[in-house]
Structures are given as C-alpha cells and as structure tokens.
Amino acid sequence: VYAYQVTNGKVWSLINCLCVFTAVLSSFLDNVTTVLLMTPVTIRLCEVMELNPVPVLMSMVIYSNVGGTLTPVGDPPNVIIASNSYISKNGVNFATFTLHMAIPIAIVMVTTYFQLRMKFKTINDLRFTEPQDVQEIRHEIAVWQRAAASLSSYSKDEDLVRETLLKKVNRLSRSLKKKLVSGSVPVESYKATLDELKSKYPIRNYALLVKSAVTLVFVITFFFLHSAPDIQKLSLGWTALLGAILLLILADREDIESVIARVEWSTLLFFAALFILMEALAELGLIEWIGKQTENVILSVSEESRLAVAILLILWVSAFASAFVDNIPLTTMMVKIAIGLAENEALNLPLKPLVWALALGACLGGNGTLIGASANVVCAGVAEQHGYRFTFIEYFKVGFPVMVGSIIVSTVYLMFAHVLFAWH
C-alpha cells in the first residue's frame, strides 16, 4: 500500500520501487526468503493495477538475484563460497566480499534496468490482453482447479469436496463464456485503487509483525557478526535455523499444521533430487575431470595471461552452467575447482579474483533460465499457487539477455580491477 501511495500509482515507478527494494532486501536476507515475501505483494499490486503479474515477477526475481550477489549472505552460492574454511582463512570475510562486489553490482543494476525497459517498451506490454474481470475469472478457475487436483480419492468426504470445487469451476467457466461474448471495459482510478488497497490489505496482526521484526534483526545481526573469530563456529545455516526456532517460540501458534501445509514441499523435493544428482556426478569423477581440463587450458597460455584466462573461464563457465543447472550444486562443484587452481603452485594464481569471478558467474548466471536459481523456482511455485504460471521459454526470453549483459559488465570490471590494476 505504501509503495503504491509513494509512486502515485505510476506503473514503472512502482515496478522500479519494488525491484530496488527487492534487490536491497536480498543483499541482507537470502534471496529465496526475499522472493517468498515479495511475490504475494507483487501479485496483489499487479491485480489492483490491472497488470499482468508475470513480467513484473520476472523483473523482481532478476533484481533479487542481482542484489543477492552483493553480500556473502544474499544468495545461496555466496553462502557456500564464504562459509568455505579455506576461503575464509585467506582473507575473504563479509566486509571484503561486499566491497569487491559493490561496484559491479551497482553497474549491473543500471544496465539491467535499461534492458528490461527495452524488453517492455510500453505499458501495454505489462497489461493483460483481455479485460480485468475476464482475467480474474480465469485466475479463479485456475486456483479452484488446483485445489480440486490436490485432493486424494481415499475418502467420501474428499470426493464430496472435490465435486463441490468442480461445480464451482463449471459455474465460473459458464460465467467466463458470457463475459467473452458480452465484453467489458476496466475502470482505472488511482484514488479508488488506493482506498481498495487500504481496506483490503491492512496490517492484521501488529504483535506478530513486531515479533517477526525482532527475529529478522536477530538473524541479520548474527549474519554480520559471522566474520568475528569467536562466532565463526556458529554457521550461517545454524543462524537461520535459530531464527526460525525463535520466531516459532515468539509467535506461540497452536495450529502448526496450517503453517507446515503452506511449505513449498514440491520445490524442496526438487532441490533434494538436484543435490543427489550433483553428488552422483561428483562420485563419477565429473568435478575432478572439469578441474583437470581447466588447469590444462590455463597452463597452455603464457604466465602473464593466466589470471585473465582463469577469470574468464570461471566467470563464463559458471554463468552458463548456472543458467541450466541450479547454481547451488554448481557452486559446490566450482568452489573445489577454484581452490584447486589457487593451490596449484605451477599456476601461481591468487585466490580472491577467482572467488569474485565465481560469485558473479554463479549468482548472475542464475538469471539465465527458470531453473538457474533457487529464487526463480520458488517465485514460479508461489505464482502458480496464486493462479499465475510462466513457462521456461517465457522466462528465458527475458532472463537470458539480462544474464549475458550482466556477465559482460562483470568481465570488464574484473579485467580492469584484477588484471590491469591488480586490486587483489
């Protein structure tokens, strides 16, 4: 409601506000958490503004991945990199990481904005092709069909509920046919929309809001303190888990089943299967083979060009691989390769530029496809729960060009900062 009021209901101002806020929030929260928070908000705002939520959600999740690249706690690949004991012992802490990421991420955010504006040139590109009331009926039909499909056929009660839901779907389908025949014209009014937002979406539980804010401050504080020697024993994962336990205690909810039912179990199972696949590939020797081939390529060039070649290889390979394989298991693999390159005395390569190249490649490469980053998959899952679905190809058309532009910017920055000026 506040974002809509501040931007006076202007479409691109509101989208920019949402994207920048998402990027900043993703810097200090895990971007999956940020997407879980921002996706329902974005969908509600798009619905009242009669916008198609899909392109706005795509823009939001792209900025979430960009913003998450800034800090060691912003994106899961960065957490994997920063929590590695060898890397942390070699001077890569929270402050150093953020300092080296700040310049390229600031430039990438600007270039991403212009790329998205070129993709969605007019407001009509962000609107539905059909009237709002027709879209609302289609949305309702999708939600009720999803609810009916989720019921099993093991009891008469569930069969009865399914029949009731399907009758509701049939009534809505008939209503949709009438709307398509008669047609309708949406009414636009900033004041009316603002009043509707204020009445429909007030803060319903101030006590829970305060408790959640306390928990959030607790978690972020411990994330920042993680670079302190005495607190390093408490991992980032344990910090997040303690935050979840603290919120459960403070919230004091008796009906925990309703909370568990809203967990994205399908997404969690997807990631579990993906990790199993990556570990199987590691056991088959894929990581060792890729590392050996990378070393051979770097050794084949002159000594003064080895750092540039190593940065280019890690950056572009991790970016394109991350676009088609989730960047969490990919980063787990690439960290071992980067450390192996730095430990190889024959190569004589500094560790830090390789770490920055891996962080930029793995995080920004996740924007390339729908399965490239955890945040993308989670956003698509939450959107589908609300009745909005975007396909792999739809996201690819938006995300892949943005990814290529981001990696080009990162390449130029790393060449200037670490090959030309040796900032490391």
In tens, the pLDDT along 55-113 reads 999 999 999 999 999 988 888 888 888 888 888 888 788 888 889 999 999 999 999 99
Based on its alpha-carbon atoms, the radius of gyration of the chain, rounded to whole angstroms, reads: 24
Residue 196 binned pLDDT confidence (cut-offs 50, 70, 90): low
Q: Kindly indicate the confidence band of residue 3, based on its pLDDT and cuts at 50, 70 and 90.
A: low
**Global confidence as pTM:** 0.75
Structure tokens belonging to residue 107: 């430039």
Nearest residue to 50 (alpha-carbon basis) of 113, 118, 135? 135
What confidence tier does 182 reach under pLDDT thresholds 50, 70, 90?
Answer: very low
pLDDT at 190: 56
**In 3D, which of 74, 56, 66, 77 has the Cα closest to residue 106?**
66
* Residues 6 or more apart in contact with residue 95 via CB below 8 angstroms: 227
**149: in domain:** yes
- Classify 364 as helix, strand or coil: helix
Q: What is the per-residue burial (b if ≥16 Cβ within 10 Å, else e) of 89-101?
A: eeebebebbbebb
Instruction: Confirm whether 253 is domain-assigned.
Output: no
Q: What pLDDT does 220 receive?
A: 76
Residue 167's pLDDT is what?
78
Of 360 and 125, the structure prediction assigns the larger pLDDT to 360
Instruction: Assess if residue 382 is contained within a domain.
Output: no
User: 159 in a domain, yes or no?
Assistant: yes
Judge whether 28 lies within some domain.
no
pLDDT digits (tens, 9 = 90+) for 51-63: 888 899 999 999 9
pLDDT at 14 over 80: yes
Token duo for residue 319: 């970016």
The region of weakest confidence among 42-46, 394-398, 407-411, 412-416 is 42-46
Q: pLDDT digit string (tens) for 349-377? A: 888 999 999 999 999 998 999 988 888 88
Cβ atoms < 10 Å from Cβ of 200: 10
Q: Is pLDDT at 186 greater than 60 in this prediction?
A: no
Q: Report pLDDT for 260.
A: 73
Residue 232 lies in a domain: no
CA distance 372 to 354: 21
Whether 142 maps to a domain, the answer reads: yes
Q: Mean pLDDT throughout 217-246?
A: 73
Tell me if 18 is assigned to some domain.
Answer: no
Distance of CA 134 to the CA centre of its chain: 30
Q: How far apart are CA 108 and CA 233, in angstroms?
A: 34
Question: What three-state secondary structure class fits 51?
Answer: strand
What confidence tier does 413 reach under pLDDT thresholds 50, 70, 90?
very high
pLDDT band at 184 (very low <50, low <70, confident <90, very high): very low
119 against 11, higher pLDDT: 119
Task: Give the position of tokens 């959600």.
Answer: 57
Q: Kindly tell me if the per-residue pLDDT of 418 is higher than 80.
A: yes
The CA distance from 156 to 133, in Å, is 35
Q: What is the DSSP code (8-state) at residue 47?
A: H
Specify the number of domains making up the chain.
1
Range of the domain at 164: 132-184
Q: Pick from 16, 26, 48, 90: which is nearest to 220 by CA? A: 26
Residue 1 DSSP code: -
